[in-house]
């Protein structure tokens, strides 16, 4: 068995086979995870690295960092929305990437509860566009970035990510020449919108630090770990898997808040208060990494597990997802919400009722 380091270093032979001399395209490349993915991909010598984002400033920042650190790599900025099939098809046919990592998404849980149709347009519609085009152009690997909030989802963002996982697995049936896989993350320390920068800002302002509930826990990983998992999973993929990082035990958020206060040279509850604001709509006390009906299986990496959860009728699921996006475009939000929830809670085909089958 290959010896792996605890920092998820890549097997050089596998990494070279995956990346060296090839075109790699990263969506959401101007964000925290997408940018780190680009930085970890560049040393392996891709023929071209396409930095795709709808934010010109984010894409430019990643591109400039790549040009500075790896001038030998051709870095190309591509501005556009993953929702725009015409623009995405133009880019993919122009660059012909062999590896696509789809990190672009709306991820902010409370904001997506307020604008669920935008979550569906971007996280479902954008994933449909990118995954389908990947198969059409003959891309070798397509990677969907998911989240632990996709497990038994209680929020709009989590449901769109769960449906995204199922759609990506379904694409393996439509385009068997492409290896489709998903990777589930916990919370990423230090990423844009994560709790750590928010707590630091609250501490700098003199407090109080706001925690939703005294018992709430979350799984955490660092940005380099998250990017390393994606690339390590790519090298092991056979197609259709959902890969999950072993992130250890979940961390109580109140303990994290206390530690950050102490690291600032202050004492919690004396110098900086901690207040509990209550769980927000769609939030859970505790997240999960998998469900017991889809148990994790070992891979040849000691910190990466895998599961398979392919829909029996992939084309029916993809048609239902496309209809969901049409409901979002039409502003039929209540019906869209019901359909989204239904599509995330369907049982495996062997246990599905006639009514559930009719949903597809």
Q: Which residues form the catalytic set? A: 149
245, 229 Cβ separation under 8 angstroms: yes
**CA distance linking residue 121 with residue 118, whole number of Å:** 5
Coil, helix or strand at residue 229: helix
**CA distance linking residue 306 with residue 38, whole number of Å:** 24
280, 110 Cβ separation under 8 angstroms: yes
User: What is the number of other CB atoms lying within 10 angstroms of the CB of residue 60?
Assistant: 15
115, 149 Cβ separation under 8 angstroms: no
φ, ψ for residue 245, nearest 5 deg: -85, 135
**CA distance linking residue 175 with residue 172, whole number of Å:** 5
Q: Identify the H or E element spanning 148.
A: none
Q: Identify the H or E element spanning 79.
A: strand 74-79
> How many helices and strands, by DSSP H and E, does the chain display?
14, 15
Angle at 315 between CA 50 and CA 230, to 5 degrees: 35
List of residues 6+ apart from 52 with CB closer than 8 A: 25, 26, 27, 28, 29, 59, 78, 79, 80, 82, 91, 104
**CA distance linking residue 18 with residue 22, whole number of Å:** 8
96, 23 Cβ separation under 8 angstroms: yes
List of residues 6+ apart from 249 with CB closer than 8 A: none
Coil, helix or strand at residue 75: strand
């Amino acid at each position: 068995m290959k010896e792996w380091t605890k920092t998820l270093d890549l097997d050089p032979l596998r990494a070279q086979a995956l990346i060296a001399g090839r075109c790699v395209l990263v969506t959401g490349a101007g964000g925290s995870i997408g940018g780190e993915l680009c930085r970890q991909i560049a040393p392996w010598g891709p023929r071209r690295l396409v930095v795709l984002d709808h934010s010109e400033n984010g894409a430019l920042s990643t591109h400039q960092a790549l040009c500075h650190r790896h001038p030998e790599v051709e870095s190309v900025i591509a501005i556009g929305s993953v929702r725009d099939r015409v623009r995405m098809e133009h880019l993919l046919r122009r660059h012909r990437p062999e590896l696509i990592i789809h990190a672009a998404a709306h991820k902010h849980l409370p904001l997506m509860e307020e604008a669920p149709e935008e979550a569906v347009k971007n996280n479902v519609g954008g994933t449909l566009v990118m995954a389908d085009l990947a198969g059409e152009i003959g891309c070798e690997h397509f990677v969907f970035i998911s989240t632990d909030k996709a497990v038994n989802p209680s929020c709009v963002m989590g449901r769109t990510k769960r449906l995204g996982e199922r759609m990506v697995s379904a694409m393996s049936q439509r385009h068997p020449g492409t290896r489709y896989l998903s990777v589930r993350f916990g919370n990423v320390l230090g990423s844009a919108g994560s709790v750590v920068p928010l707590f630091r800002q609250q501490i700098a302002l003199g407090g109080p630090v706001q925690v939703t509930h005294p018992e709430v826990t979350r799984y955490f990983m660092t940005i380099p770990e998250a990017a390393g998992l994606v690339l390590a999973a790519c090298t092991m993929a056979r197609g259709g898997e959902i890969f999950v990082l072993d992130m250890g035990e979940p961390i109580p958020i109140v303990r994290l808040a206390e530690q950050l206060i102490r690291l600032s040279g202050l004492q919690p509850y004396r110098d900086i208060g901690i207040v509990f604001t209550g769980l927000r709509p769609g939030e859970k006390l505790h997240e999960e990494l998998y469900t017991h009906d889809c148990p994790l299986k070992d891979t040849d990496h000691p910190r990466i597990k895998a599961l398979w959860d392919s829909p029996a009728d992939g084309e029916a699921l993809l048609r239902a997802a496309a209809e969901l996006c049409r409901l979002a475009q039409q502003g039929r939000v209540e019906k869209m919400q019901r359909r989204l929830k239904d599509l995330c809670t369907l049982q495996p085909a062997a246990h599905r009722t006639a009514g559930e089958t009719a949903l597809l």
